[in-house]
């Protein structure tokens, strides 16, 4: 199974600022997924990050708010832009290959 | 469209007893997989067990087993000999083999009583 390292594990940010979350995998993977889990809710897919092409966003999520980079087959970043308190959530990256494993998650609080 | 339903928002179980967490699903894809995850208060998603739609036998992983009833479209998680450390949120998820996206249920909060 893949080992997925995500950082930061948590952060408290001021509204109006941006936070970039990093996800590193110990093997090359084709797809990486980014999920959001709002307080008390289940996980919702934000987008699919494919190496060498633009990320594919799910309904309700836009690139200006959640820009994603995928510079190589082992790394991706998700930026939460112009944050508001409603963005307070746990953000998780996932690798669908070799199963469906997740990074440790980033618990974001926007104040 | 795919859908996962977990009808138990919360469950209690006595330590050392077995507990079943319910999960039903709906999909038109003929090939799919079903997953269970544990989410402790730290927020990480811990993979527990996987069942493929064509698997003939129910999956087992240590104290976890998946009661897969394909005709009923159910994939219940059974935890045997509950431990205090089992207290957490549990999510059922499905992934069609035509897509790698996971669809999650709403989760069940399990509390193990000493």
Tens-place pLDDT, residues B83-100: 999 999 999 999 988 888
Q: Which of A23, A21, A40 is nearest to A32 (CA)?
A: A23
Interface contact B105-A101, CB threshold 8 A: no
**DSSP annotation of B35:** E
A45 touches chain B (CB under 8 A): yes
Share of chain B above pLDDT 90, in %: 91
A contacts of B44 (beta carbons < 8 Å)? 102-105
Mean pLDDT of B67-96: 97
Task: Indicate the range of B1-5, B22-26, B35-39, B102-106 predicted with least confidence.
Answer: B1-5
Q: Long-range CB contacts (< 8 A, 24+ apart) of B41-47?
A: B41/B88, B42/A104, B42/A105, B43/A37, B43/A90, B43/A104, B43/A105, B43/A107, B44/A102, B44/A103, B44/A104, B44/A105, B45/A43, B45/A92, B45/A94, B45/A102, B45/A105, B45/B91, B47/A1, B47/A99, B47/A100, B47/A101, B47/A102
**What value does the mean pLDDT of chain A take?**
94
Q: Which residue of A has its CA nearest to B94?
A: A100
């Amino acid at each position: 199974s893949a080992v997925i390292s995500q950082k930061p594990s948590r952060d408290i940010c001021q509204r109006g600022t941006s936070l970039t979350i990093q996800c590193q995998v110990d093997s090359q993977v084709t797809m990486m997924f980014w999920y959001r889990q709002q307080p008390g809710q289940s996980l919702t897919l934000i987008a699919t990050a494919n190496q060498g092409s633009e990320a594919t966003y799910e309904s309700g999520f836009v690139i200006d708010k959640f820009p994603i980079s995928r510079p190589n087959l082992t790394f991706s970043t998700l930026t939460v832009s112009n944050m508001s308190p409603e963005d307070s959530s746990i953000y998780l990256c996932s690798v669908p290959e070799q199963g469906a494993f997740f990074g440790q998650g980033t618990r974001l609080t926007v104040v | 469209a795919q859908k996962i339903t977990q009808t138990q928002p919360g469950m209690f179980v006595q330590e050392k007893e077995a507990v079943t967490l319910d999960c039903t699903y709906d999909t038109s894809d003929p090939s799919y997989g079903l997953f269970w995850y544990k989410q402790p208060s730290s927020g990480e998603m811990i993979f527990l067990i996987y069942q493929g739609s064509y698997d003939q036998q129910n999956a087992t992983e240590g104290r976890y087993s998946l009661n897969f009833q394909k005709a009923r479209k159910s994939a219940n998680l059974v935890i045997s000999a509950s431990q205090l450390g089992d207290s957490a949120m549990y999510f059922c998820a499905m992934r069609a083999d035509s897509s790698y996206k996971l669809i999650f249920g709403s989760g069940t909060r399990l509390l193990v009583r000493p």
